[in-house]
Structure 1
Amino acid sequence: MKKNEKLNKWLWKWHFIAGLISLPFILILSITGAIYLFKGDYEKNKQKHIKEITIQDTKVSFQKQWEIANANAIKKPNSMVVSTSKNQATEFVSGRFGNKSSLFVNPYSGKVSGEIITKDTNMFKVRKLHGELLTGKFGTKIIELIASWMVVLILTGLYVWWPTRGWKIKGLFIPRIKEGKRTFFRDLHAISGFWFSGLLILILAGGLPWTDAFGESFKQIQKITNTGYPDTWQGHHLKSQIAGDALTLDQMVAKAENLQLPGVVTIDFPKDQKGVFSVYNTNPSNLNTQKKIHFDAYTGKQILSNNWDDVGVLMRGRMWVMAFHQGEFGVWNWWLMLCTTITLTIMSISALLSYTMRKRKGNWGTPKVPTSFTVGYGIIIVLVILTLVFPLFGVSLLFIIGIEYLLNKNKPRKI
């Protein structure tokens, strides 16, 4: 591929600027992302004394356990997780996401074995550092901005790296070792960046739905195009027909178990006297198996059932990339995410080392662009598209261009 040398220098300049700004945050994202991948194993050992109990001969009814949970939980539970083994304490859940808390009841003794408040856990703090730098909404916007610039880093990096004189083993597939440290670290950064570029784009796509500007825009598009969850998924408009006594939780657990849904099965409780019981499963390793079924709280009759096919295409795509981002598709996905976080860390450090070896004292080392270079319509179109997709990128780009304009304007002209 023949490259435009002036364009190459211009893109190299923006790759340099984006990297210099993003580098510290990319290191935080890669390290915290790697730590969070161990959430399951870490919490399994740390919370074992709460979640696991000794098997006994007699059991307390689920209805009684529900009453115990109502009396002891910080906030009244709105759902219960169906246990999959006899040595598991029954989990009653209140709230969602960061406001979630789980109270565990020993099904044999009826005693509360403990309560886990999500926001107080160590892994929740790691997640908050990863997603918002522990600074709330402001931090979320910073992370979104960095993620946007990472897309620019990948696109500009691909063009700058792409060979013009044919493909060679050294410098394109393996780093050159005998040409000095700076060349070695430069190759290490560029080669790993190229071969992981597609994967990094996919991982960024899995993280962006959690952001503010991009995430909210995506939700609005889902709403307008009706490609999110169907209105019936949550069952807000469904009502039970009051007739005699309501079903016991034991009867609902039996119905949920008979469905034989894979993954983690949860029963949502009726919100009021006319509310319904809802049974659904969470199974990130195979999203197509997920269902949500609503039952009349008095007759136990199935009112409505939603399969994963009923969910809109944008929501299904969003949930897929988010599950991939968290390494939830199995061992292969977990190892792939771990290798990616390690590679991203190596890429960042090698770029920094290469830069420090190249940088001259008293100079930022920003690549020089010929004054005769003008941005073509193709680049402008790409920038407009990126601005529309990533609004915070557009704002930051205008800010940087404004600063550069003012600096150049105040420079003394050479006579």
Structure 2
Amino acid sequence: MFYAKKIHHWLWRWHIIAGLISLPFILLLSVTGAIYLFKADYEQQTYRSMTQVTPSVSYLTYQQQLDIAQKAAKENGVAIPTQMILPDSDYQATQFIAGRFSSESYTFVNPYTGEVTGQFARKDTLMQKVRKLHGELLLGKKGSWVIELVASWLVVLIITGLYLFFPRSIAEIRTLFRVRVKQGKRTFYRDLHALCGFWLSLALMLVLAGGLPWTELFGSNFKTVRDQTDTGYPTGYHGRGLESDPNKAAKKLDLDDVVTIAKDKDLAGVVTITIPTNPKGIYSISNRAESLKDQQQIHVDQYTGNVIKAFSWSDVGALSNGRHVVMRIHQGEFFGQANWYFMLGLCVLTAVLSASALVSYCLRKPKKSFGLPKAARDKQIGVLLWGSMLLLGITLPMFGISLLAIMTLWLISKILKKTIRLVSAAS
């Protein structure tokens, strides 16, 4: 291969640098990611006393249950619920939601007795803390920047690792399927790391694609591209900008009327009804289905019950659609239980990959040295590889910023060394 040896040393150097920066965090992400996969089972058991009820003959209307939930929220000084999850079982308490995203709080009402079976805020749950540790290191936006930096360097690790380990001949293909166990610890851990890295590389890239849109800089750029290319949600998809007309009706619908409309639509999965909070507000009916193509958004006038606008998932643009696919894969939710096992296995093997990398590095590096190969001096290699680094730096802004910082520190160290030599020579 053209300039193969020099390129190999250059990429090996950056592979080690990327590993030293990323490794502790990759281990943390693997562990917290594996724990978070158990969220549904954990919360089902933890909050069973709130979410499960015993069926009875009498049944309160949904409007009565909403009034009870809102009254309980006022009495406890918490946000007033503006959403309801439509129960899909006679044994299920009705769940009302206030707030959005990590600020959500939940109130559960027994639909037979009217008893408030429990309330809790999402931010107080163990699994939300695990999620915040996974995505923000419990440091808010600053932690999100660190995770984005690690994810960006992980892309570099994957690309350089693939190049370094990819077989150069037919005879070397066997290295993709074996770990040499009889040739010492150095060889064993090197093979274990290389083998795991090679076979996990595409899966890790897919998972990174699902996580990066949540980050600060890359996520912001992603949204800009999506909006500029009109490949996101159509106007009004989430109900923003849509209004009911209070001048055209004598009375407004209650929650039970909207539940009837929702049930007539026979929506798959978990159905959520968003409740209007002002005279021009609308009812919104949405569902989260196992298959994205089954998802719909239906916006209803709160006075007439007429559908103002309705959307199916086919109305969603390519970038938002693609993001949801990889995001669900990232969360272990896209192709059923197999996806869950796929992600759990990936978390475990990524932890093995990271641990074997650390052991291999410690066994191979010289004492009192980082063990970095010397960088190639060929100008043509510099143009090729620095051009690639520049492209990655633009695509992954946090990588670009960190690369600039590393080069600045390197330049400062060079200047200081030269200055010290000149001073020493002059004296």
Into which bin does the TM-score normalised by the smaller protein fall?
over 0.9
Q: Which residue of 2 aligns with 1:282?
A: 288
Letter in 2 for 1:147: A
Q: Kindly provide the CA deviation profile for residues 214-268 of structure 1, in whole angstroms up to 9, marking residues without a partner as x.
A: 0011111111112111121122332223312211211211211111111110001
- Aligned equivalent of 1:301, options 298, 303, 306: 306
Number of the residue aligned with 1:5: 5
Query: In 2, Cα distance between the equivalents of 1:181 and 1:175?
Result: 11
Q: 1:113-128 residue pairs with structure 2 within 5 A?
A: 113-128=117-132
Instruction: Give the structure 1 partner of residue 320 of structure 2.
Output: 315
Return the offset for 1:320: 1.1
Distance 2:398 2:9 in 1: 25
Give deviations 1:281-333, integer Å, cap 9, x for gaps: 012x3111110011121221222111111111111111111111000121111
Q: Distance in 2 between matches of 1:278 and 1:157?
A: 48
Give the corresponding residue for 2:102.
Answer: 98
Counterpart Cα distance in 1 of 2:168 and 2:349: 26
Contact 1:3/1:164 (<8 A) preserved: no
Q: Deviations over 1:95-124 (max 9, x none)?
A: 111100110000001010001210000000
Give the alignment partner of residue 360 of structure 1, picking from 355, 362, 366: 366
Contact conserved, 2:167 with 2:173, CA < 8 A, in 1?
Answer: no
Conserved? CA contact 2:29–2:134, under 8 Å: yes
Aligned match for 2:111, one of 103, 107, 114: 107
Is the contact between residue 55 and residue 87 of structure 1 (CA under 8 Å) also seen in structure 2?
yes
Query: 1-side partners of 2:91 and 2:3: how far apart?
Result: 64
What SS is found at the alignment partner of 1:324? Answer: helix
Q: Compute the displacement of 1:167 (Å).
A: 3.9
Question: What's the counterpart of residue 35 of structure 1?
Answer: 35
Q: After the TM superposition, which of the residue ranges 347-356 and 271-280 deviates more from structure 2?
A: 271-280
Higher helix content, 1 or 2: 2
Q: Give the CA deviation at 1:169.
A: 6.0
Alignment of 1:322-401 (within 5 A): 322-329=327-334, 330-372=336-378, 375-401=381-407
The SS at the match of 1:272 is coil
After TM superposition, give the deviation of residue 2 of structure 1 in Å: 6.8
Q: Displacement, 1:360?
A: 2.5
Q: Point out the more displaced range, 18-27 or 398-407.
A: 398-407
**Correspondence 1:132 to 2:132:** no
The residue that corresponds to 1:17 in the other structure is 17
Q: Which stretch shifts more, 394-403 or 199-208? A: 394-403
Residue 250, structure 1, aligned to residue 256, structure 2: yes
Instruction: Confirm or deny: 8 A CA contact 2:298 2:307 kept in the other structure.
Output: yes
Greater Cα shift, 120-129 or 297-306:
297-306
Match of 1:208 among 185, 190, 212: 212
Write the letter of the residue equivalent to 2:176: L
Aligned partner (choices 90, 93, 107) of residue 89 of structure 1: 93
Give 1:213 shift: 0.3
- CA contact 1:16–1:367 (8 Å) conserved in 2: no
Pick which of 296-305 and 7-16 moved more. 296-305
Letter paired with 1:293:
I
TM-score, normalising length from structure 2? 0.93
Once the 2 structures are TM-superposed, how far is the Cα of residue 78 of structure 1 from its aligned partner?
Answer: 1.1
Deviation of residue 373 (structure 1)? Answer: 6.4
Q: CA deviation at 1:368?
A: 2.5
Alignment partner of 1:145: what SS?
Answer: helix
Match of 2:202 in 1: 198
1:268 matches 2:274 = yes
Percent identical pairs in the alignment equals 48
Counterparts of 1:135-146 in structure 2, within 5 Å, are 135-146=139-150
SS of structure 2 residue aligned to 1:251: helix
Distance 1:3 1:334, change over 3 A: farther
The one-letter code of the counterpart of 2:160 is T
Question: One-letter code of the match for 1:385?
Answer: L
> 8 Å contact 2:3–2:381 — kept in the other structure?
no
User: What SS does the aligned partner of 2:175 have?
Assistant: coil
Segment of structure 1 superposing worse, 233-242 or 86-95: 233-242
Q: Give me the whole-angstrom Cα distance separating, in 2, the residues matched to 1:374 and 1:306.
A: 53
Instruction: Please give the root-mean-square deviation of Cα atoms over the aligned residues, in Å.
Output: 1.7
Structure 1 stretches of 5 or more lacking a match?
A: none
1:175 aligns with 2:147: no
Q: How many residues align?
A: 413
Cα contact 1:2–1:164 (8 A) shared by 2: no
Any conservation in 2 of the 1:233–1:292 contact (CA below 8 Å)? yes
Under a length normalisation based on structure 1, what TM-score does the superposition of the two structures give? 0.96
Structure 1 residue 409 displacement after superposition: 4.4
Deviations 1:40-85 (Å, cap 9, x if unpaired)?
Answer: 1011100101000111110111111111111112211111000000
- Structure 2: segments with no counterpart, 5+ residues: none
1:218 to 206, 219, 222: 222
Return the alpha-carbon distance in structure 2 between the equivalents of residues 159 and 264 of structure 1. 44
CA distance 1:371–1:300, change in 2 (3 Å): closer
CA contact (8 A) 1:7 1:373 kept: no
* CA–CA distance in structure 2, aligned partners of residues 176 and 169 of structure 1: 14
Name the CA distance, whole Å, in 2 between partners of 1:352 and 1:411: 31
Contact persistence 1:10–1:369 (CA under 8 A): yes
CA drift at 1:5: 0.2
Matched position secondary structure for 1:266: strand
- Alpha carbons of 1:240 and 1:317: their partners in 2 closer, same or farther (altered >3 Å)? same
| Contact 1:6/1:373, CA 8 A, preserved across alignment | no
